[in-house]
Structure 1
Amino acid sequence: MRLVAISALIALLLDQVSKYAVVHGMELARVRAIDVLPPLLNFRYGENRGINFGLMDGDGDLARWVLVVLALLICCAVLWWLRGAPQRPIVFVSAGLLIGGALGNVVDRVFYGYVLDFLNMSCCGIRNPFVFNVGDIFIFAGAIGLVFFAQDKKRA
């Protein structure tokens, strides 16, 4: 479980440092858009009050706190699930990344009322209108890691 905590802490810190550096340090909140490697990578300011891609976007305080509690419950459920998961380092790191990314978004919701998003990627003539953050990358990577590496080969 120590590996879970270390991975979660690293993911949480990288998420929060990246948000601070880009949104506040590079003043993305003021300028709204910075082209980094267009069209592949751009910084676009976003405030996500919902879930992924703005689903369940609610401006009310109730929605904010429901999403905070839901994220914390999911983190607890992942920790509970780990008790019976294969005891491999990659499984613990994956769980830690998922938890750390989720906690990064929880920190945003608590302090700002929304999740700060700033990454935008487009390619091949297709313009992506959505933005995400480093925490979202960790959530995705952690979930994929759990899907692929948390299978009990004895039971399979």
Structure 2
Amino acid sequence: MSLKKAYLYIFIVLLIDQISKVYIKTNFFLNEEVKVFEWFRIHFIENEGMAWGAEIPGDYGKIILTVFRIFAVFGIAWWLQDSIKKNSSKYLLVAIVLIFAGALGNIIDSVFYGVIFDDSYHQVATIFAEEPYGTWFHGEVVDMFYFPFIVDYPMPEWVPFIGGKPFTFFNAIFNVADFAISVGVGILIVFNKKAFGENHLLAK
């Protein structure tokens, strides 16, 4: 994979991610849900944290996370260029491209969304709003994909920790960027030997 092709793939993932987020932000109010199927719903939420809604607590948690993401993206960009120069495995390159594009997609939300959108509480947000909801580096990440395969299943009392409580699987709400990061990490885990092995170099 050439560097130009890698940048093209990153651009495509970013474009899909941002189009989906802007569409949701400008057509849904917060917590609005559309049921596509019983197991697949478009449910608009926002979060201040990492992929899949994780957060860093504290007053400065958001800015720390955003700055960390920016440094991480620079590190991933260097990793991608170095891996391409070394003619690394396509498994590794695809994984890095997906992780890079996903991280950059959520950074765009964090850095810019607070100053270009107004809030989505009980209303549909306006892009390039006169009174934006936040400040630079304090934007919230837009999530929308929800796949509740099992909803409020009554767990038996004998099950540790969750016995007697309603159980939902899969309960996370995510976006295209989160999905890209997860697939990239999944490739590194599942195809670890092919991603980091040297057999592809020896064969050339």
The bucket for the TM-score relative to the shorter chain is: 0.7 to 0.9
Q: Where does the alignment leave 5 or more consecutive residues of structure 1 unmatched?
A: none
Which residue, out of 139, 142, 146, partners 1:116?
A: 142
| 4+ runs deviating over 6 angstroms | none
Q: In the alignment, which residue of structure 2 is the partner of 1:102?
A: 103
Deviation at 1:58, TM superposition (A): 4.4
Question: Counterparts of 1:142 and 1:101 in 2: how far apart (Å)?
Answer: 9
Residue 64 of structure 2 is aligned with which of 63, 66, 77?
66
Q: Deviations over 1:116-149 (max 9, x none)?
A: 0111111134524431101100111122223424
Residue-pair matches, total: 151
- Of 5, 29, 48 in structure 2, the residue corresponding to residue 3 of structure 1 is 5
Greater share of residues in helix: 1
Question: How far apart, CA to CA, are the structure 2 residues paired with 1:81 and 1:89?
Answer: 14
8 A contact 2:43–2:146 mirrored in 1: yes
- Superposed counterparts of 1:1-40, under 5 Å: 1-24=3-26, 27-29=27-29, 32-38=32-38, 40=39
TM-score normalised to structure 2 length: 0.64
Distance 2:45 2:57 in 1: 15
Instruction: Say whether the 8 Å CA contact 1:8–1:98 is kept in structure 2.
Output: no
Partner of 1:135: 177
- Identity value in percent: 27
Distance 1:121 1:16 in 2: 20
Contact 1:47 1:116 survives alignment (8 Å): yes
Q: 1:115 to 1:106 in 2, by over 3 A?
A: same
Aligned match of 1:50? 49
* 1:14–1:8 Cα change, 3 Å: same
Deviation at 1:86, TM superposition (A): 5.2
Secondary structure, counterpart of 2:42 in structure 1: strand
The 2-side partners of 1:152 and 1:23 are apart by 42
Cα distance per residue 1:65-97 (max 9 Å; x no partner): 222221222222223334256523343222111
Contact 1:44–1:119 at 8 Å: present in 2 too?
Answer: yes
Change (3 A) 1:49 1:133: same
TM-score normalised by the chain length of structure 1 = 0.80
Counterpart residue number, 2:93: 92
Given that 1:41 and 1:121 are in contact with CA atoms closer than 8 Å, whether structure 2 keeps it comes out as: yes
Q: C-alpha distance in 1, partners of 2:24/2:55?
A: 26
Across the aligned residues of Structure 1 and Structure 2, the Cα RMSD in angstroms comes to 2.5
For 2:63, the aligned partner's letter is: W
